A and B are shown apart, each in its own frame.
Chain A
Amino acid sequence: MEQQSARRRIDPRRPYIIAPSGRKRIILGAEEGMRGVHTATHAAQQKPLRMQCEAQKSNGHLLVLLHSERGALDEHARQAIAAAALLADADTAVVVAVLGGCGEDLGAAGADIVLDLPAFDASHFQPERMLVVAQSLIAQYQPRHILLPDRDGDADLGRRLAARTKRTVATDVVELTRDNACRIVPGGRYARCAMPDIVLLGRHAADATLPFVGHGEKGELQLKGTLPEETVRDLGLEASSPDQIALEEADFIVSGGNGMHDMETFAALADALGAATGASRVAVDDGRFVRAKQIGATGKTVQASVYMALGISGAVQHLQGIKDCRHVIAVNLDESAPIAKRANLTLVEDTKTLMQALLQLVKQARQSNGATL
């Protein structure tokens, strides 16, 4: 028997359909559809393509020249690609030439045409050859502007290119629009100029997160002429011992905190890995490390490729000091410590036993490597 009530009642399990977006949709008054529990999860958003047309049919190009490091791009390089993608019109393709080669798909970073040039990495001094490559790229794509990150080998290449080809250039650009570029000059002044041919971008001049993606197609370099002989002879690289260079310059840092008390194994491990040593504030205050080793807001800000945090919980001040590190590996007994959110790999283990195990492995690996050589 059905009772009529004055208030209209709503069926809590009204039928629904799954909309094309993958989300649940209830159509009022509909009688058909699913009634079970919908357990769909949010899918990662598909970003749209920036260019309307194909990359090959573009009407003009922007060229980004950059060096990769160990086959990967750092944040500064990504910012340069993103800046080019943001400056480009809908029918302008972003051409990215990666000197040193890069394994990953750069379409997600905003590149439309990617040229992998593994033979031109920064480990050899070859400015004349790089200039030939850059000039070939310019002849091939006729770019409206050339963007480079203003650091290390790219800063050198950009300045050489500007001097050789007599193009207008702006270095350490901190602010960029479609029409002009702006840099800071001594004396607390901005210097602004119309968008030059070559733009050397400072750090954080652009945001690397993009709401769109590029095509990411492979391009082929058409070399103009032959590669010249270098007049400067390269006698090879030499690595400095980690205790001779500044902590800010170190590439591999092993760092100890409050959960790490075995200083002997720590020193042996750092030595075996060829790493510089750092510490958190607590370990420095304890007297286990000198003040110069402190990493964090009141200490040093480091830019290592690998930062191994042993027994460091990861206070905000410490995380500030390691924000530019690429790979963070944490060893901590507490898996919910803040460092686990920052770390690329977290090992829940006592630091002493792990250091001993790792030291054994590293020594074995070094020995077997020495035997094969």
Chain B
Amino acid sequence: MTTSLKIAVLVSPARHPVSGRALRSISDAAAFELACRMAAPEHLTVLCAGTDGTSELREYLGLGACQIEVLTLPSQDDLVPALVSRLKGFDIVLCGARAAGQEASGLLPYLLADGLGIAMVNDVLEATAQGRTLTVRQFLPKGMRRRLQVAAPVVLAVHPRAPQTRQFAHARAVAGRITHAGGRPGTLAPAASVWQYERITRRPQPLKAKVAQSGHSRMLGAIGGDSGARGGAIIKQGSADEKAKTLLAYLREHRLIDF
């Protein structure tokens, strides 16, 4: 259960998308819980970089984190280099797959793994350590899961569907400590786009082809032409057995079943 590996967890403050209330990020909380399964909370290093949201970070203290270290930075651009220099020497770095507060681009684990020069596994659901070898269960869509074996050091990005059973306790939230440390800006500067922000006042418009249609082609579009037969094949003839065979043949033709 417990391991001698050095484990760091990255957490970030989140905001409710509608009310704007301070929250914990689901995937960051899942990452913290996964770390707690590998080592006792007092042996974990819980980090937050670049933001100063004490009330939001209390959420993670309430989940059982003893101490959260906030790396204060002059600007957001230094976030990845500062984290890279702070995380050198750790065996396992856990973070949520995607923040719910800042950019929420899901890029941080990739940039960290690249900066640290170590392996990275995305969409992690479970992880168990034996010595320096980790067995990881990865989330895949359509109900599939994958088992992977990876040697430390490694960055694990935890999927929001990872099991979460820890409860928030106010006493823990009050007892926990938040410390501030000046982050050391590194020299590694990743190429980043320059963003301009504006309030959402309209729906996003999808990219569409401009078509100057002739009347005839517009009418063809309206009736669907001869090629655009609406609906698929309709089988009326034959017995139930024959129809069932047709169904099975359809499934086999489209490689939807494997028997």
Contact = CB atoms under 8 A, between A and B. Distances in A.
A231 B151 contact: yes
Interface in A314-373: 327, 329, 335, 340-350, 353-354, 356-358, 360-362, 365-366, 369
A122 B138 CA distance: 13
Nearest to B232: A344
B208 interface: yes
A150 to B, nearest CB: 9
Interface string B225-258: 1111011111110011101111110110011110
Contacts of B223: 42
B143 A239 contact: yes
Contacts of A5: none
A354 B235 CA distance: 13
B75 interface: no
A14 to B, nearest CB: 21
Interface stretch (B47-55, B85-93, B114-122, B171-179): B114-122
Contacts of A70: 254-256
Contacts of B239: 357
Contacts of A232: 119, 121, 148-150
A191 interface: yes
Given A70-B254, A192-B198, A342 B247 contact: no
Interface stretch (A24-32, A56-64, A199-207, A289-297): A199-207
Contacts of A238: 144-147
A300 B219 CA distance: 36
Contact of B204 (A205, A212, A335, A356): A205
Contact of A347 (B151, B228, B230, B243): B243
Contacts of B240: 349-350, 353-354, 356-357
B243 A186 contact: no
B150 A205 contact: no
Given A238-B145, A347-B247, A186 B104 contact: yes
Contacts of A327: 250, 254, 256
B225 A233 contact: no
A260 to B, nearest CB: 14
A43 B233 CA distance: 21
Contacts of B164: none
A107 B145 CA distance: 34
Interface in B6-23: 14-15, 17, 20
Interface stretch (B34-42, B65-73, B185-193): B185-193
A180 to B, nearest CB: 9
Given A176-B207, A188-B199, A192-B195, A152 B141 contact: yes
Contacts of A233: 148-150
Given A192-B195, A192-B198, A212-B209, 6 more contacts: A159-B106, A171-B106, A192-B197, A237-B144, A340-B231, A356-B240
Interface of A: 23, 41-45, 70-72, 82-83, 86-87, 122, 125, 151-152, 155-156, 159-160, 162-164, 166-172, 174-177, 182-194, 196, 204-207, 209-212, 231-240, 242, 245, 249-252, 273, 305-306, 327, 329, 335, 340-350, 353-354, 356-358, 360-362, 365-366, 369
30 contacts: A42-B226, A44-B225, A70-B254, A125-B148, A160-B110, A160-B120, A164-B114, A166-B191, A168-B193, A171-B105, A172-B105, A175-B207, A187-B20, A188-B17, A190-B199, A207-B207, A231-B119, A232-B150, A235-B147, A237-B146, A238-B147, A239-B143, A250-B143, A327-B250, A335-B236, A344-B250, A346-B231, A357-B240, A360-B244, A369-B259
